[in-house]
Amino acid sequence: MMKNVDDRIYKNRWFQLLAVLLVVVPVTVKIASPIWDIDVWWHLATGREIVHTGSFLKTDPFNSIPPSYLDPNRMFLLNGYWLAQVLFYASHALGGPAGLILCKVAIFLAVPLLVFSHGVRKGWDFRCTLLLMVLCGWVSTYFSAERPQILSMLLFAMLMLLLSRIGYIGSKEDSGTVDHNLKPALLLPPLMVLWANSHPGYTLGAAVLVLYALSETTQHFIHSKPPANRTSLLKVVILILVALAATGINPNGFDAFLGLLKNEGSDLQSRSSEYMSPFAAWKDHGILVTPFFIYVALYLVTCGSRVKKLDPTFLLISLSLLVISFRSYRYIPFFVFGTTFGLGAALNSAVFGSSRLKRGCTILAMCSLILLWYSSARFFPRAYASLASPVNTYRFPVAASDFLKKEKPSGRIFNYFNWGGYLIWSLYPEHQVFIDGRSLSLKAFDEYTRVLWTPEWKDILHRHNMNMIILSTVDDFTGELYQVVNHIAADPSWHLVYCDDTTFVALEGTSNQPLIAAGELPKLMLYQQAASKAELLLRRGMNNPAVWQTLATAYSRTGHLEKAAEARRRASGK
């Protein structure tokens, strides 16, 4: 009797909609954070440039480095995201930064809503649907940066949904497909064209399509399927080949494949935290993607217990995705979003007729939902404020940029790497930047590093005719004081004209003499900023010798000698 009551509750549409709401609310609150990703700004600027000029970028308009510095293997980035960039710019144009945040939220919510829709359509036990919705929504909260990659995550989920609806020859789950369903296969070419113009991640989708076609063709001959099945498979394979060919319909053609292959394992890639394993992220940075490990356990237990009943194609694709997600943090959402439809079918078959497994599924879903709400609780007070103040003003030089737009100093900029995108967005076309998150030149990055840390700083700036520095005094990742700060402080030809808690602006040369004469600031403020930033890093838990050494230097230069002595003692580990 109790079992029938439980089943009626889970089948009740109002209960299901309430459960969906209980997933949507915490995911929305956690994702709707102030803009913090450093790359979103050059994406917006590129979208703006494409819309205003009505054409793709032929060269990089935002950068002041010589064309000979540009890496040909990175040029696909100029137009490789154009459709996503136009979408982001349109969202920003319609609603400002808050509009961009809402666009991001809508993209991420689409995945758990797709899971809900597919589960209802296939008649899954709602316990299974709810569990997968919670895990997909929870995983998305760890990858909520405002960048075109989020479209790749959604489009990959849609691709895997289409493949699950096309069917698998060897599947004993779900409907026991014999003939492939051609209607969803017709959507593969337009989906891949859309994806190829939004993000280079379409190459992962192309790889999955190749695996699907090869596996299904192999199984057809292994299982000796009848001619009717051969005909439907042939049509699907032809549509897959059309979809693969259609990925060339983008500004870069097939260059993205070559560019990604050349960048695989490169020094630039090794510097990116996105490519660390989830285990390294946990060990080295304290980032534990809890829902990912819950999902992996669910996947291994469910598929391991039903391996003989699962389709080999699904197993091949899902295990491949699991391997790359273990190797690289950035592929976690692709594994979870991409396998959830196949896992849902297997999980639904597993719990069918088993009260014990249904209870287990319910308990896991409820525990995951509670943990999702718990992890989102501290974001609730911030949710409305994020829309009212949608830009993280500590992370970006908002006030300094406003100062430059008002005062209009002339000359070329040497800028902080993390702010290149924001400065492109806020200062172009009046000013270009030296470097930004696109990393179009390793040579420029090398010179950037030498300006920050070596006595060559002035020679490099003069080589590029740069007379304006927009920088932070402290490295946010290590707590070190940039050596160029000491160089600027000691050089009488450089003048401090702006300084706040985040940014300083220094000018050289006679072309900006009126601004220098009217508003030059004491260079002591550089060390006051350094002390403020280092103290903030300490409060955030970065208690290392570099931070204390920065404080020792800053306190010494600002006359706080007792504090400087204590900081030196801490820096030495005594």
**Shared-domain flag, residues 377 and 412:** no
pTM: 0.90
Cis, bond preceding 251 (omega within 30 deg of 0): no
**Shared-domain flag, residues 357 and 505:** no
437: containing domain:
398-571
**Shared-domain flag, residues 379 and 412:** no
Q: Which of 350, 385, 420 is the last residue of a domain?
A: 385
- Structural domain includes residue 169: yes
Q: Which of 385, 407, 435 is the last residue of a domain?
A: 385
Q: Which of 358, 385, 412 is the last residue of a domain?
A: 385
Q: At which residue do the structure tokens 């760890």 appear?
A: 142
- Structural domain includes residue 61: no
- Structural domain includes residue 126: yes
- pLDDT number for residue 76: 87
Q: What distance in Å separates the CA atoms of residue 312 and residue 555, rounded to the nearest whole number?
A: 65
Q: What distance in Å separates the CA atoms of residue 337 and residue 299, rounded to the nearest whole number?
A: 12
Per-residue model confidence as pLDDT tens for the chain (574 residues) = 445 446 677 777 888 899 999 999 999 999 988 888 999 999 999 999 999 999 999 999 999 999 999 988 888 889 999 999 999 999 999 999 989 999 999 999 999 999 999 999 998 989 999 999 999 999 999 998 889 999 999 999 999 999 999 987 555 554 444 568 889 999 999 999 999 999 999 999 999 999 999 998 888 777 655 555 778 888 999 999 999 999 999 998 887 776 666 655 555 455 555 678 888 878 777 788 899 999 999 999 998 888 777 888 899 999 999 999 999 889 999 999 999 999 999 998 888 777 788 888 989 999 999 999 999 988 887 777 666 677 888 889 999 999 999 999 999 999 999 999 999 999 999 999 999 999 999 999 999 999 999 999 999 999 999 999 999 999 998 999 999 999 999 999 999 999 999 999 999 987 899 999 998 999 999 999 999 999 999 998 888 999 999 999 999 999 999 999 999 999 887 6
- Identify which of 511, 503, 570 has the alpha carbon closest to the alpha carbon of residue 542: 570
Chain centroid to CA 342 = 25
On whether the CB atoms of residues 34 and 389 are closer than 8 A, the answer is yes
Q: What distance in Å separates the CA atoms of residue 409 and residue 256, rounded to the nearest whole number?
A: 39
**Shared-domain flag, residues 205 and 243:** yes
- Structural domain includes residue 160: yes
On whether the CB atoms of residues 294 and 135 are closer than 8 A, the answer is yes
**Shared-domain flag, residues 165 and 310:** yes
**Shared-domain flag, residues 353 and 477:** no
Q: What distance in Å separates the CA atoms of residue 64 and residue 465, rounded to the nearest whole number?
A: 10
**Shared-domain flag, residues 271 and 407:** no
DSSP state of 465: T
Measured in residues, the chain has a length of: 574
How many separate domains does the chain show? 2
- Structural domain includes residue 533: yes
**Shared-domain flag, residues 379 and 418:** no
Cis, bond preceding 190 (omega within 30 deg of 0): no
- Identify which of 158, 156, 247, 153 has the alpha carbon closest to the alpha carbon of residue 197: 247
Q: What distance in Å separates the CA atoms of residue 20 and residue 18, rounded to the nearest whole number?
A: 5
On whether the CB atoms of residues 365 and 127 are closer than 8 A, the answer is yes
Q: At which residue do the structure tokens 């430059």 appear?
A: 404
Structure tokens at 391: 């830009």
- Structural domain includes residue 32: no
Q: What distance in Å separates the CA atoms of residue 312 and residue 314, rounded to the nearest whole number?
A: 5
On whether the CB atoms of residues 135 and 295 are closer than 8 A, the answer is yes
On whether the CB atoms of residues 135 and 368 are closer than 8 A, the answer is yes
- pLDDT number for residue 311: 83
Q: What distance in Å separates the CA atoms of residue 253 and residue 483, rounded to the nearest whole number?
A: 44
With 0-12 CB in 10 A as exposed, 13-18 as middle and 19+ as buried, what is 300? exposed
**Shared-domain flag, residues 239 and 207:** yes
What's the CA angle centered on 273, arms 271 and 274, to 5 degrees? 115
- Phi-psi map region of 513: left, alpha, beta (phi>0 left; psi -120 to 50 alpha): alpha
**Shared-domain flag, residues 76 and 120:** yes
**Shared-domain flag, residues 308 and 423:** no
- Structural domain includes residue 90: yes
Distances (CA, A) of 462 to 412, 459, 468, 470: 10, 5, 11, 16
- Structural domain includes residue 28: no
Structure tokens at 341: 């439809």
**Shared-domain flag, residues 225 and 319:** yes
Segment (H or E) for 508: strand 504-508
- Phi-psi map region of 171: left, alpha, beta (phi>0 left; psi -120 to 50 alpha): beta
